[in-house]
């Protein structure tokens, strides 16, 4: 197990921390030395073997804890939010290292995290729990693109929800639905949906235009820009639809801001970019 706080022994050196589990398993001393050396090389810390944990950075301590857990060659590795104490850049670097080490060792790993980017980036399978019940257990792409319930769609990533009425049962994995704002649509959806349903449209799949460019195609909805935000590569718009509902759109940023607060805009999306989920 790798603990959230690393739980390294402060009075032991790096190599002594890593050797601890092997000593408890009564592995021969000569084998311990070789396995500790290999484990530290795997996490690129062989040159720090003689240092105490207090002399290491957070990322280095995290790697020591990982080496200590892996050196006993476990059949199951448990990681309890091991990156929560690191800054953003180090978190990203360390999750790539953990993933690489896990792939190389082939150890089945249970990684507990509240960071959705971490889960989507690292996992082969993700379990989404709601009040102790697993609502969906699937691949990261399926969790994000094909959420089983509204809770899953709302919990993982950002989502816009559009209330619709289901007009027909699924045919070829698609439903016919009708929206007061966007008219009749044919969309993908989770199985077993009745009349009470909502469309999920991710913000980066929403188009925003100054004119009603979708006339004659998929109807667009008129909106008013309520707020904007800029994070470097993405500019986000919060849009108030004529129905009073809010919709978010994330666009790749341009040098100049396209819309300002108070501007009129038209929002639209491709039906294949929407996914129907049950309201439950």
Residue range 9-31, pLDDT digits in tens: 999 999 999 999 999 999 999 89
Residue 3 lies in a domain: no
Same domain, 44 and 101: yes
Q: What is residue 144's predicted lDDT score, i.e. its pLDDT? A: 95
Residue 6 lies in a domain: no
Residue 2 lies in a domain: no
Distance of alpha carbon 84 from alpha carbon 103, whole angstroms: 22
Q: Is 192 left (phi over 0), alpha (psi -120 to 50) or beta?
A: left
Residue 221 lies in a domain: yes
Banded model confidence at residue 217, pLDDT cuts 50, 70, 90:
low
Query: What is the pairing mode between strands 274-278 and 183-189?
Result: parallel
The answer to whether residues 107 and 124 touch, using CB atoms and an 8 Å cutoff, is no
Same domain, 115 and 165: no
- End position of a domain, from candidates 77, 106, 122: 122
Model confidence pLDDT, tens digit, residues 194-216:
767 899 999 999 999 888 765 44
Across the range 55-67, mean pLDDT stands at 90
Least confident piece of the model among 6-15, 90-99, 234-243, 255-264: 90-99
Same domain, 40 and 103: yes
Residue tagged 């994070």 (tokens): 231
Q: What is residue 280's predicted lDDT score, i.e. its pLDDT? A: 61
Residue 215 lies in a domain: yes
The count of domains in the chain is 2
Same domain, 88 and 189: no
Same domain, 267 and 163: yes
Residue 222 lies in a domain: yes
Same domain, 162 and 276: yes
- End position of a domain, from candidates 75, 98, 122: 122
CATH number at residue 29: 3.40.50.300
Residue tagged 């999920």 (tokens): 200
Residue 149 lies in a domain: no
Q: Taking 90 as the threshold, does the pLDDT of residue 154 lie above it? A: yes
Same domain, 103 and 177: no
Count Cβ atoms below 10 Å from residue 275 Cβ, excluding itself.
21
Query: What is the pairing mode between strands 160-171 and 221-230?
Result: unpaired
Q: Taking 90 as the threshold, does the pLDDT of residue 98 lie above it? A: no
Same domain, 39 and 91: yes
The pTM assigned to this predicted structure is: 0.78
Same domain, 91 and 195: no
Distance of alpha carbon 214 from alpha carbon 201, whole angstroms: 17
Residue 36, judged by CB atoms within 10 A of its CB (0-12, 13-18, 19+), counts as: buried
Secondary structure of the chain in the HEC alphabet?
CECCCCCCCCCCCHHHHHHHHHHHCCCCHHHHHHHHHHHHHHCCCHHHCCCCHHHCCHHHHHHHHHHHHHCCCCCEEEEECCCCCCCHHHHHHHHHHHHHHHHHHCCEEEEECCCHHHHHHHCCCEEEEECCEEEEEECHHHHHHCCCEHHHHHHCCCCEEEEEEEEEEEECCEEEEEECCCEEEEEEECCCCCCEEEEEECHHHCEEECCCCCCCCCCCEEEEEEEEEECCCEEEEEEEECCCCEEEEEEECCCCCCCCCCCEEEEECCHHHEEEEECC
CATH number at residue 177: 2.40.50.140
**Which residues, 6+ apart, have CB-to-CB distance to 217 below 8 Å?**
none
Q: Which domain holds residue 279?
A: 158-280
Cα–Cα distances in Å, from 206 out to 2, 122, 183?
Answer: 40, 27, 16
Same domain, 117 and 165: no
Share of the chain above pLDDT 70, in %: 96
Tokens of 23: 């000593």
Residue 112 lies in a domain: yes
Same domain, 79 and 164: no
Q: What is residue 56's predicted lDDT score, i.e. its pLDDT? A: 94
Same domain, 208 and 96: no
């Amino acid at each position: 197990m790798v603990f959230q706080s690393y739980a390294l022994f402060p009075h032991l050196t790096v190599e002594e921390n890593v050797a601890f589990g092997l000593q408890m398993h009564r592995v021969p001393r000569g084998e311990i030395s070789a396995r500790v050396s290999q484990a530290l090389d795997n996490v690129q810390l062989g040159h720090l073997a003689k240092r105490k944990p207090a002399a290491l950075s957070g990322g280095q301590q995290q790697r020591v804890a990982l080496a200590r857990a892996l050196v006993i060659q476990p059949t199951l590795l448990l990681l309890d939010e091991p990156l929560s104490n690191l800054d953003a850049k180090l978190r990203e670097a360390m999750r790539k290292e953990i993933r690489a080490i896990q792939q190389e060792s082939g150890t089945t790993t249970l990684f507990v995290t509240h960071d959705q980017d971490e889960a989507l980036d690292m996992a082969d399978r993700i379990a989404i729990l709601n009040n102790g019940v697993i609502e969906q257990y699937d691949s990261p792409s399926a969790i994000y693109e094909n959420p089983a319930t509204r809770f899953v769609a709302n919990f993982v990533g950002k989502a816009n929800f559009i209330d619709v009425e289901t007009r027909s049962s699924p045919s070829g994995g698609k439903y016919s639905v009708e929206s007061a704002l966007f008219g009749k649509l044919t969309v993908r959806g989770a199985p077993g949906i009745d009349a009470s349903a909502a469309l999920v449209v991710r913000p980066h799949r929403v188009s925003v235009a100054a004119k009603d460019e979708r006339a004659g195609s998929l109807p667009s909805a008129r909106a008013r820009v309520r707020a904007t935000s800029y994070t470097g590569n993405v500019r986000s718009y919060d849009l108030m639809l004529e129905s009073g509902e809010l919709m978010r759109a994330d666009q790749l940023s341009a040098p100049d801001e396209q819309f300002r607060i108070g501007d009129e805009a038209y929002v639209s999306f491709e039906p294949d970019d929407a996914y129907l989920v049950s309201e439950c």
